[in-house]
Amino acid sequence: MGTPLIGVSKSILKIKELINHVANTCLNVLITGETGVGKEVVAQSLYAESARSSKNFVKINCAALPETLLESELYGYEKGAFTGAHRKRPGKFQTADKGVLFLDEIGDMPMALQSKMLHVLQSGEFSPLGSDQEFKTDVWVIAATNHNLEESIYKKTFREDLFYRLNIIKIDIPPLRERKEDIPSLIEYYFRLYKSEYPENNGSKPDSDILAKLINYQWPGNVRQLQNCIKKQMILNSWEKIFEELPREHHEVSPHGQINGKINETLPLTMSEFPTDRTSIISEFVDLSTSSDKLFEDISLKKIKKLASDRVEKEVITFVLEKVGWNRSRAAKILKISYKTLLYKMNEFEVFPPVK
């Protein structure tokens, strides 16, 4: 039995629903999310819910192996296929037959292997290294990555056609800081688990003050980091100590100058001291080093809205134009605006093709 997918947040409930829907479809799934959010837990849940659960769940980490080794691990090899291949060996595609092949860290797969993978996924056939024979494969491919693959496609480090093959069902797991409702149930689950594993340890559960701090924390390492804290607590039995050891810059500060649940008299002097994404957006339009009461003196919400929407429009237009090699009629079609409007906007936002 794998780890159950714990969580009560809307996003986790939605993911659970999706898992139930797709478990028996065998449609390729791409799971995305930051490190430690639970991509592997979701992959295991898909497998456990499916009719394939009586067969193998085979995982391969595409980031951990050099290209040639990854290739032989995936497809296997014949005796004598390369120096050192003293006997024939089956690859993951074979061991996963009728089961699940979990391609972890797919964003790190070398380009050359991406073409081969695409071919196998399209044809349902593969051939081991050193063999001319094609073998049929029946695997359910679930892939995961913490890269933004759209960006990798743009940078030409990931094949667009392979992306579409893998991304038939997309499951994006939000970071823990965006689903704080899950924190208490995760603590409860792991606390019980470790207590039953190590009954001699006497770590206590967090009281309401500590719990509030834990909920407020940003968890850059997501569930894995929270899990490690609980493990540590079982041994140290000091939440204060554990909390102190968490990297400071991720302790959330609320706009009322509260830090870790306590009022902090010295905060905030200026808004630039809020380490949140919100301020990074605002800082594009106002100078955050100005004192709070004068911050919006020279600008209205309406003006900010206009500036922000112009900026987004400019970014999108430039992005699409670059993608289509500056073919303006194609770009206009993609953006669903007239050719004339596009020219007007390009002029307004000063978007020009690069000088050759």
Ligand X SMILES: Nc1ncnc2c1ncn2[C@@H]1O[C@H](COP(=O)(O)OP(=O)(O)OP(=O)(O)O)[C@@H](O)[C@H]1O
* Contacting positions for ligand X (CB under 6 A): 3, 5-7, 33, 35-41, 146, 223-224, 227
CB of 144 to Mg ion, least distance (A): 6
Which is nearer to Mg ion, 94 or 145 (by Cβ)?
145
* Helix boundaries (H) for 138-181: 149-154, 160-166
Which is nearer to Mg ion, 100 or 317 (by Cβ)?
100
CB of 61 to ligand X, least distance (A): 8
Partner whose binding site includes residue 227, from ligand X, Mg ion, none (CB under 5 to 8 Å by kind): ligand X
Which two three-digit tokens encode residue 235?
Answer: 């041994």
Which is nearer to ligand X, 184 or 261 (by Cβ)?
184
CB of 8 to Mg ion, least distance (A): 22
- C-alpha span between 311 and 37 (Å, rounded): 31
Which is nearer to ligand X, 56 or 222 (by Cβ)?
222
Which residue's Cβ has the minimum distance to ligand X? 38
Partner whose binding site includes residue 76, from ligand X, Mg ion, none (CB under 5 to 8 Å by kind): none
In 44-68, which positions are buried (b, 16+ CB within 10 angstroms) versus exposed (e)? bbbbbbbebbebbbbbbebeebeee
Which is nearer to ligand X, 3 or 260 (by Cβ)?
3
Which is nearer to Mg ion, 60 or 342 (by Cβ)?
60
- C-alpha span between 199 and 174 (Å, rounded): 33
- C-alpha span between 306 and 312 (Å, rounded): 10
CB of 170 to ligand X, least distance (A): 15
7 touches 182 (CB < 8 A): yes
What residue type is 232 in one-letter code? K
CB of 42 to Mg ion, least distance (A): 10
One character per residue 10-39, x = contact with Mg ion (rule: CB under 5 A): -----------------------------x
- The H-or-E segment that residue 140 falls in is strand 140-145
Largest CA distance in the chain: 76
Which two three-digit tokens encode residue 93?
Answer: 């595609």
Which two three-digit tokens encode residue 236?
Answer: 């140290």
Does residue 40 interact with Mg ion by CB under 5 A?
yes
Residues that bind Mg ion (CB under 5 A): 39-40
